[in-house]
Amino acid sequence: MLALRLGLSLGSPRPMGVWNPSDETTLEAWYKKGAGISLNGSDVAEWADSTTNGHDMAQATATEQPAYSNGVLTFVAADTNNLQTTTQISIADEFTIGFVANPGAYNNVILGDNTTSNEFFKYSAADRFLIKIDGTSKTFSLDSGTWGDNYIVVTRDDTGKIELYKNGVKQADSETLTGTADIDAIGVRATDVNPFEGTIEEIQIYTAQNDTLTANINAYLSGI
């Protein structure tokens, strides 16, 4: 079946002068809600990178393609739904990653590397998030409550300090984790382990960290 390409964003147009991810030269990859989607029936064959860097996430195996409806990708862990890019994302220093997701289970990877082991970002429990870089992992606990349909921002500064924001609120738990973060997949890590269960609407990846960028991303994601 021929793939159907959906090139327009489902989000409301933003007024002139309002911040947009594309304003940032450090935007490494952008999986924009409702944009760049190529469908195989009602399933996602590709989620194109909305930057010019070409980190398009695709899945040729029909049984592993996440479902799609109205800007929302639904991943089923039992089917190992995932998307992968042939262009490696590797970030050695600062980063900021923002996403809108709703996990349906835990010990499930939202971003990872399916060719390099021990590289991933995952919901490890109902109130914890785990990041593993170069084989070293750090766990982040929520101040209160559990995960749901949230917008999340994860930042790392030039000292390796990582902070996590849930729905715009910085959580108290911060950790230090240096090394090169490798990403080439949405919803899985090497090799085909801990597949994601739940929904994803948007993912933004930057090779920078600062308070203004974090605030802008939080404000943008809050409107999705």
Secondary structure class of 70 (helix, strand, coil): coil
- The b-or-e profile of 14-29 (16+ CB within 10 A means b, else e) is eeeeeeebeebeebbb
Q: Model pTM? A: 0.94
| pLDDT score recorded for residue 14 | 56
CA atoms within 13 A on the CB side of 137: 16
Cα gap 49→55, rounded to integer Å:
5
Cα gap 152→165, rounded to integer Å:
6
Give me the helices (H) in the chain, please. Answer: 211-222
Cα gap 118→133, rounded to integer Å:
6
Q: Is the pLDDT of residue 10 over 60?
A: no
Residues 149-203 pLDDT 10s: 999 999 999 999 999 999 999 999 999 999 999 999 999 999 999 999 999 999 9
Phi-psi region of 222 (alpha: psi -120 to 50; beta: other; left: phi over 0): alpha
Res. 17 pLDDT band, cuts 50 70 90: confident
Residue 95 · residue 205 · CB < 8 Å: yes
> Helix, strand, coil: what percent of the chain each, to 5?
10, 45, 45
* Cβ neighbours around 194 below 10 Å, total: 22
